[in-house]
Copies of this chain bind each other. A is one copy, B any other.
Amino acid sequence: MRGVLQVREEAGRGMKHDRILLAHGGGGSLTHELIERVFAPAFGMETLEDSAVREFGGQKLAFTTDSYVVKPYFFPGGDIGKLSVCGTVNDLAVQGAQPLWLSLGMILEEGLPLADLEKIVASIKTTAAEVGVTVVTGDTKVVERGKCEGIYINTAGIGRVVTEVGCARIKPGDVVIVSGNLGEHGVAVMSQRAGISFQTSVVSDCAPLWGLVKTVLDTGAEIHAMRDPTRGGLAITVCDFASGARVGMRLEETALPVSREVRGACDLLGLDPLSIANEGKVVVVCPSADAGRVVSAMQVHPLGRNARVIGEVIEQPKGMALLRTTIGGERIIDMPTGEDLPRIC
Q: A20-B114, A43-B135, A114-B15 are in contact. Are A63 and B149 (CB under 8 A)?
A: no
Partner of A54, one of B115, B122, B136: B136
Q: Are B343 and A143 in contact (CB under 8 A)?
A: yes
Q: Are B7 and A66 in contact (CB under 8 A)?
A: no
Instruction: Please give the distance in Å from A234's CB to the nearest CB on chain B.
Output: 20
Report Cα–Cα, A140/B42, bound state, in Å: 15
Partner of A57, one of B12, B56, B68: B56
Q: Is the interface of A mostly helix, strand, loop or mixed?
A: mixed
- Residue A125 at the chain B interface, CB threshold 8 Å: yes
Instruction: Please give the distance in Å from A34's CB to the nearest CB on chain B.
Output: 6
**What are 17 pairs between A and B in contact, CB < 8 Å?**
A3-B122, A4-B116, A7-B118, A7-B119, A11-B121, A18-B115, A20-B110, A20-B111, A20-B113, A39-B138, A51-B137, A52-B137, A56-B57, A57-B58, A64-B103, A139-B154, A143-B343
Copies in the complex: 2
- Residue A199 at the chain B interface, CB threshold 8 Å: no
- Residue A19 at the chain B interface, CB threshold 8 Å: yes
Q: Are B25 and A125 in contact (CB under 8 A)?
A: no
Q: A38-B117, A119-B4 are in contact. Are A146 and B146 (CB under 8 A)?
A: yes
Q: Are B103 and A63 in contact (CB under 8 A)?
A: yes
The residue in chain B whose Cβ has the minimal distance to the Cβ of A344 is B141
- Chain A 34-77 near chain B by CB (<8 Å), digits 1 or 0: 11001100110100000110101111010111111100000000
Q: Are A114 and B19 in contact (CB under 8 A)?
A: yes
Q: A4-B119, A112-B20 are in contact. Are A136 and B63 (CB under 8 A)?
A: yes
Interface centre among A57, A100, A111, A141 (most CB of B within 10 A): A141
Q: A124-B42, A156-B103, A156-B156 are in contact. Are A112 and B19 (CB under 8 A)?
A: yes
The residue in chain B whose Cβ has the minimal distance to the Cβ of A43 is B135
Interface size class of A (residues with CB under 8 A): 35 or more
Report Cα–Cα, A15/B113, bound state, in Å: 12
- Chain B residues within 8 Å of A117, by CB: 20, 38
Report Cα–Cα, A39/B21, bound state, in Å: 34
- Residue A8 at the chain B interface, CB threshold 8 Å: yes
- Residue A227 at the chain B interface, CB threshold 8 Å: no
- Residue A332 at the chain B interface, CB threshold 8 Å: no
Report Cα–Cα, A65/B128, bound state, in Å: 17
Q: A11-B118, A121-B11 are in contact. Are A137 and B65 (CB under 8 A)?
A: yes
- Chain B residues within 8 Å of A22, by CB: 110, 142, 144
Report Cα–Cα, A111/B22, bound state, in Å: 8
- Residue A319 at the chain B interface, CB threshold 8 Å: no
Partner of A139, one of B12, B18, B67: B67
- Residue A257 at the chain B interface, CB threshold 8 Å: no
Q: Are A24 and B108 in contact (CB under 8 A)?
A: yes
Interface centre among A34, A67, A105 (most CB of B within 10 A): A67
- Chain B residues within 8 Å of A42, by CB: 121-122, 124-125, 135
- Residue A241 at the chain B interface, CB threshold 8 Å: no
The residue in chain B whose Cβ has the minimal distance to the Cβ of A145 is B22
Q: Are B66 and A115 in contact (CB under 8 A)?
A: no
- Residue A192 at the chain B interface, CB threshold 8 Å: no
Instruction: Please give the distance in Å from A109's CB to the nearest CB on chain B.
Output: 7
Instruction: Please give the distance in Å from A8's CB to the nearest CB on chain B.
Output: 5
